[in-house]
Every structure is written in structure tokens, then in C-alpha cells.
Structure 1
Amino acid sequence: MQERIVRGHTLRKGRVSEVGRIYLVTTVVRNRRPVFLDWQLGRLLVNVMRQAEQQGRVESCAWVIMPDHLHWLFRLTGGTLDGLMRDMKSHSGRQINRAGGLVPPFWQPGYHDHAVRQDESLKAIARYVVANPLRAGLVTRVGEYPLWDAAWL
């Protein structure tokens, strides 16, 4: 247990939040429960992500909801990265717990973030994100997977 706390703390070390920057974040369901095998629970998470867009907090570039985690590539357009992730995890966790009859907490503490540098190819990162179900052997074609999107498609 202590190791998780230390690791969560080290994930925050050096974290900078810049409006206008593109981030790739990954967050994991508590105990890696594969709750998003039920794609309807995944749609609740999608709705919370879309609310963040409607509120002017992010512009999504690409995302995929895997059975036990989320990868989300976006441009931060308002607020802070920590505030966005705290609110997204809080709102989605409450909705998913209620709809799925699950016991809180829903998400593991913390998240991993990568600030995309100018020299990195945004489309290549987006392709990597949406190809996760293929690499995991969940589908044979990306189009078969119900919980992903990319701005270029």
C-alpha cells in the first residue's frame, strides 16, 4: 500500500499545467477491474469527457477506453490539468458506480500524463492511442471496438 502512495506522489513531481498544451493522459480503474467490457458504462465516461469539451476545458484529439483504463489525448483549453482530471474522475466515477452497482472508489488515485512536445507527431500518437484494442487482441480492426474516437476520422 505504501508503495502506491509513493508512486502516486512521484507521478505529480514536476507536473506543469499549460493552457494550449496537448497532453496524453492515462488513468486506471481501481484494482484494474475490467468494468468497461460493459460498453454502456464506457459511454458514461465518454459523456463526462464531452462535457469537459462543452465547458471549454479541452479539445479532444483522440481517446480510447480500454476495459480497465483510459487513454485521452487532448489540448487543454481552460483551467488546469489537475482540476480537469479531478473533476472527470469524480463525475464519471459517481455515475459509473451508480449505474454499474459498484462500490467506490472507482478510479485508482493519480494519473500518468505526458505533455506532447512540438517535435512529436500528434497523428502518430493518436494512431497509437486508438490502436490499443488491436495490440491488446480485443479486436482485429479498430472499427470493431466501440469505445474510441479521433478528431481526424
Structure 2
Amino acid sequence: MSDYRRAQDAGACYFFTLVTHQRQPLLTQPRLREALRLAIVQVRQRYPFNICGWVLLPDHLHCLWQLPEEDADYGLRWSMIKRLTSQAVPSAQGVSLSRRLRRESGLWQRRFWEHRIRDEADYRRHMDYLHWNPMRHGLVERVADWPWSSYHRLVREGVYPEDWAGVADDMDAFGE
């Protein structure tokens, strides 16, 4: 096993990417969305964190979290969220011996990617990236058309204009 070191700064803001096992397009299914939502609610009750931004796509999710000042343990939170979601929606597929030995389900990839947000510009870049992601993947023509995103809340709060990012044919916001 690799000796992977993660940033662990109490009270920091982090950008995360989590992917389903073998990129199965499951996360936007109603039953799984609800299981994920309930897992997050349950974990936040015991281990609080603020969700600054979020987007849920069929096979992965991106989010920005602000941790409490005295806490840096996002790994515990993700472990619990992934476990609770997997328990609520058991995999229809068989699970490999390797995954069974690690007590893993067939829902999530083993690890997740994290990035500690360095400053306001970094925060804005990651927030824009996660909200633009459904357009990047060709799932919608406008950011506002994707239902599983914090973009709608942030428009109501005045953070984004309602027409932010225009239409897919009109822009290439992230050079992709």
C-alpha cells in the first residue's frame, strides 16, 4: 500500500472528489441520492462541517467543505458517509474478494481526492469548477439546468448570477 499523505489542517476548507466503483452511473438515482443525503445529515450531526459547494453527477461528486476550527478529520466523515450510504443501498453486483476483505461495498472507489484550499482565488476556482462540471461532461447546456448542485442555493444567496456560465455552445470556461 502506498504511503499517501493527506493535508490535515484543522478549520481548513477542502475540495473533494469521490467516484463510484468502476464509474458506475448510480449517484443521481433517487434511492441512492436519498441515502447519500441522509448519511450526510447523520454524519454532520455528530461531526459538524459546513458544505460550501456541492455537485452530484452520475458517477462522481465534487464538494467544498469548511471544517470546524478544532477539527481536521475529514477522512472519518467520508468513511462514515460512504459506509452509511453503502449500507442503505446494497450493491446489486458481486463484490470482489479483495473488497470484501477490506469490508468495502461495490458502490465507491477506495479512496477520494482532496485539495486544501489555499486562498480566496483557489476557493473561487474550485467552486466554479464544481458548478460547471455538469456542462463539462455534456449533461446539460446551462449550469442552471443541473438539479443536483449547490449552484441554485448560491444563486438565491446572490453569490452567482442566474445566468452564470452562459450556454455550453457559447463558452469554454475551463479550457476543456
Distance 1:69 1:49 in 2: 16
Question: How far is 1:132 from its partner?
Answer: 0.6
Q: Map 1:21-100 to 2 at 5 A.
A: 21-77=12-68, 78=71, 80-97=73-90
Q: How many residues align?
A: 142
Structure 1 vs Structure 2 CA RMSD: 2.3
SS of equivalent residue, structure 2 residue 54: strand
Distance 1:83 1:91 in 2: 12
SS of equivalent residue, structure 2 residue 138: coil
When the two structures are superposed, what TM-score results if normalisation uses the length of structure 1?
Answer: 0.79
Q: Is the 8 A contact 1:28 1:70 kept in 2?
A: yes
Question: How far is 1:39 from its partner?
Answer: 4.0
Distance 1:85 1:145 in 2: 24
Partner residue of 1:152 out of 140, 151, 154? 154
Mapped pair 1:127 → 2:120: no
Letter matched to residue 133 of structure 2? N
SS of equivalent residue, structure 2 residue 50: strand
**Counterparts in 2 of 1:48 and 1:152: CA distance versus 1, 3 Å:** same
Residue equivalent to 2:171: none
SS of equivalent residue, structure 2 residue 150: strand
Q: Is the 8 A contact 2:35 2:85 kept in 1?
A: yes
Question: How far is 1:127 from its partner?
Answer: 1.8
Letter matched to residue 105 of structure 1? G
Letter matched to residue 121 of structure 2? E
Question: How far is 1:53 from its partner?
Answer: 3.2
Letter matched to residue 97 of structure 1? P
Which structure has greater helix proportion?
1
Structure 1 stretches of 4+ moved >6 Å: none
SS of equivalent residue, structure 2 residue 33: helix
Q: Which moved more, 1:66-75 or 1:114-123?
A: 114-123
Residue equivalent to 1:3: none
Higher-Rg structure is 2
Q: Is the 8 A contact 1:52 1:58 kept in 2?
A: no
Q: Is the 8 A contact 1:53 1:60 kept in 2?
A: no
Which structure has greater strand proportion?
1
Q: Which runs of 5+ in 2 are unaligned?
A: 95-104, 156-176
Question: How far is 1:69 from its partner?
Answer: 0.9
Residue equivalent to 1:105: 106
